[in-house]
Chain A
Amino acid sequence: MKSRNDDLALQISLGPLKLKNPVLAASGTFGYGEEYAPLIPLRKLGAIVTKGLSLEPRKGNPPPRLAETPAGMLNAIGLENVGLEAFLSEKLPRLRKLGCPVLVNIFGSTIEDYAEMARRLADVEGISGLEINISCPNLKAGGSLFAADPKAVFQVTTRIRQATASFMMVKLSPNVADIGKIAQAAEEGGADAVSLINTLVGLAIDVRTRMPILGNITGGLSGPAIKPVGLAMVWKVAQAVKVPVVGLGGIATAEDALEYLIAGATAVQVGCAHFFDPRAPLKIIDGISKYLKAHSLNGISSLIGSLKTK
């Protein structure tokens, strides 16, 4: 029998944001929630992070956009999205009915894009906060990546913080020299939390044609193959910052999620596991609950960052 205590044990806080459990659906793998609504009860999820949103609609990359790789997949969707206005008028009213907190993932090509979006999404009913995708080139800085430049990350988070009081989580890229420094820059800029890791840059080749499998040549690697990379980076970042860390990268089972919590994550995101196992988030929530019970732990907090390194 599931008791009220079991439910309480799963509750977590990401700074000001309280969630009923630590399992979130990762941006880009869960559409706008409605795609999975027929398959799983969405109200059971900790939160949904919506598909990356930009001010204007974007077409995305030419196909093929997917390539399966050993225990993983490459994608190069190209941030296709409906744009801010269609999101607010068409997608959000439906998202509000799903009974689950919604975090909106946003991206831009200038700091002002980010600020503009943050401003227009602030205090909108049905939005619990923002996840900031900084894995985009900064056009003002000649196309160098926001994600790889601590100064740019500080600037963009500071500017967003000025534009909104909403919960702000910055999503970090693993394709950087020192992810700890980037996380610190986001924290100093006013981020309430950081999430990591975004996908790793990868390439798949068809040897018969000597052509890349993806239309975009390279893509982002996700799936169980990247879990050890994500874990190592979460472990590192959790020691570098005080704000909560949300771990993602290759989580498909409760055990994967527990590893991330032990490494220092306060919550986790399930990504491409939805594709092969739509019920994965529910199984993970259930598995974490069972683990807490089996180890006589009364809350997630006693698990977070409990890695024993002698």
Chain B
Amino acid sequence: MKKDPKEIKGKIVDHRRVTPEYYVLKIQAPEIALSARPGQFIMVRLDDLHDPLLRRPFSFSRILPSKKKPGGGLAEGGFEVCYQVVGRGTARMTRLRKGERVDILGPLGRGFWREEGVERQLLIGGGIGIAPLLPWAEELAGKKGSAKGGAKEIRVEILLGGKNSDRVLGVREIKKLGLEPQIATEDGSLGLPGMVTDLLERELLSKSHKSTAIYACGPMPMLARVAQVAEQFDVPCQVLLESRMACGVGACLGCAVKIRAEGKDQMEPTSAPQGGLCGSEEEPEKSLREEMAVRISGAPFFRYGRVCKEGPVFRAQEILWE
């Protein structure tokens, strides 16, 4: 199967507001659904006007497998993305109608991969962060049933969090998979009052944590805390990161995230100062001094990775959390 990204026109087959905050867009795009993996994403171009200019990245919140037609070609397949109105692009997106076609680039990036040798797969979503975990839950829960003789049963558990009940997403979809999510809200309007990371700690403390793997998506502070807890309990942890992006294919280097670098700094700064993509002009000595300051203060070494290419799913310990 060819896994290269494609640029195609997808047909909107459904578009609905699922909570006061969140929308779900369902797009028919068999060529993309064919190779789409949970944790991967697409870049959507809303129209060919130049404002807003850039495509917007969205993770798959559901993958609807393509079927091969008897006479050749693909039928039916597609995907859903879940989004929240955060700016001009997503505001414009709410006006898309069923039947319209949108320009899709995808599937892109590295998705989730299965942590082997664990008995419990623990998925943690904060707010809209649950969306990309839904197809992963579906895949993991599906595999659970097919575990053959001798293999230990693998449990899939899901922890959901949000500011309030309106921001807790995916409960119905998770129940459809035969799973019962645990929920925490900051205002206590649904489930346990508190943070989803409190639920995580409770889970890891109460049961044998040695054979657990964590998959998480949500706001950066939440992910940083999840990473900390995972490290403390020494369990494997994958995180799906969000970032501003321009190209989505690894060319523009816009979606940089700090990646821990081993021992010595992998990318020594040169005496050349900071500049833009094509070299915007900046005061030289300042940045040089800053680089030196980082070295003298003994801050950890790092390099920049691309969220769109090396990610968006990373091992939590790869990231230099700040």
**B278: A residues at CB distance < 8 A:** 26-28, 52, 133, 135, 171, 198-199, 220, 222, 271
Q: Closest chain B residue to A61 by CB distance?
A: B274
Interface string of A59-96 (1 = CB under 8 A from B): 11111111110111101111110000000000000000
Whether B277 pairs with A75 at a CB distance below 8 angstroms is yes
Q: Name the segment of A238-246, A276-284, A292-300 touching the other chain.
A: A276-284
Contacting residue for A276 out of B55, B256, B303, CB 8 A:
B55
Contact partner, A73, options B246, B270, B274, Cβ 8 Å: B246
Decide if A31 touches B251 in the complex (CB within 8 Å). yes
Which residues on A sit within 8 Å (CB–CB) of B275?
78-79, 107, 135-136
Does any Cβ of A come within 8 Å of B53's Cβ? Answer: yes
Q: How far is the CA of A61 from the CA of B6 in the complex (A)?
A: 30
CA separation between A137 and B281, bound complex, in Å? 7
The listed residue (A58, A139, A199) touching B277 by CB distance below 8 A is A199
- Contacting pair B50 A71 (CB below 8 A): yes
Q: How many interface residues does chain A have, given as a range?
A: 35 or more
B236-280 at interface with A (beta carbon < 8 Å)? 243-257, 266-280
Contact across chains for A59 and B267 when beta carbons are under 8 A apart: yes
Q: CB distance B283 to A143 under 8 Å?
A: yes
Q: Could you give, for residues 13-31 of chain A, a 1 whenever the CB lies within 8 Å of some chain B CB and a 0 otherwise? A: 0000000000000111111
Nearest-CB residue, chain B, relative to A31: B251
Q: At the interface, is chain A mostly helix, strand, loop or mixed?
A: loop
Closest to B261 in A: A59
Partner of A79, one of B54, B268, B274, B284: B274
CB under 8 Å from chain B, chain A span 76-134: 76-80, 107-109, 113, 133
| Complex contact A65–B253 (CB within 8 A) | yes
Also in contact, A143 and B277, with CB within 8 A (given A39-B249, A68-B52): no
Chain B contacts for A199, CB-based, 8 A: 276-280
State A50–B276 Cα separation when bound (angstroms): 15
**Nearest chain A CB to B288 CB, angstrom units:** 9
Would B277 and A63 count as touching, CB distance under 8 A? no
Interface size on B, residues (CB 8 A): 51
Contacts of A218 in B (CB 8 A): 280, 282
Cα–Cα distance between A78 and B281 once the two chains are bound (Å): 10
Answer yes or no: B51 CB below 8 A from chain A CBs.
Answer: yes
In the bound complex, residues from chain A placing their C-beta under 8 Å from that of B48 are: 277
* A54 contacts the other chain (CB 8 A): yes
Interface residues of A in 130-178 (CB under 8 A from B): 133, 135-137, 139, 143, 145, 147, 171, 173, 175
Known: A147-B281, A274-B247. A72 touches B53 (CB 8 A): yes
**CB-based nearest A residue for B3:** A38
What separation, in Å, do the CA atoms of A266 and B282 have in the docked complex?
31
Q: In whole angstroms, how far apart are the Cα atoms of A35 and B105 in the complex? A: 13
A198 contacts which chain B residues (CB < 8 A)? 278-280
Name the contact of B271 in the complex, choosing from A139, A201, A275 (C-beta under 8 A).
A139
- Which residues of the other chain, B, contact A216 by a CB distance below 8 angstroms? 274, 276, 282
**Nearest chain B CB to A152's CB is how many angstroms away?**
13
Q: How far is the CB of B141 from chain A (nearest CB, A)?
A: 32
**Does the CB pair A224–B50 fall under 8 Å?**
yes
Pull 28 A–B residue pairs with CB atoms less than 8 Å apart, ordered by A.
Answer: A39-B4, A51-B253, A56-B268, A57-B270, A58-B267, A60-B256, A64-B244, A65-B244, A68-B52, A71-B50, A75-B252, A75-B254, A78-B274, A79-B274, A79-B279, A80-B253, A133-B278, A135-B275, A136-B273, A136-B281, A143-B283, A198-B278, A201-B281, A220-B276, A222-B278, A272-B252, A275-B252, A278-B105
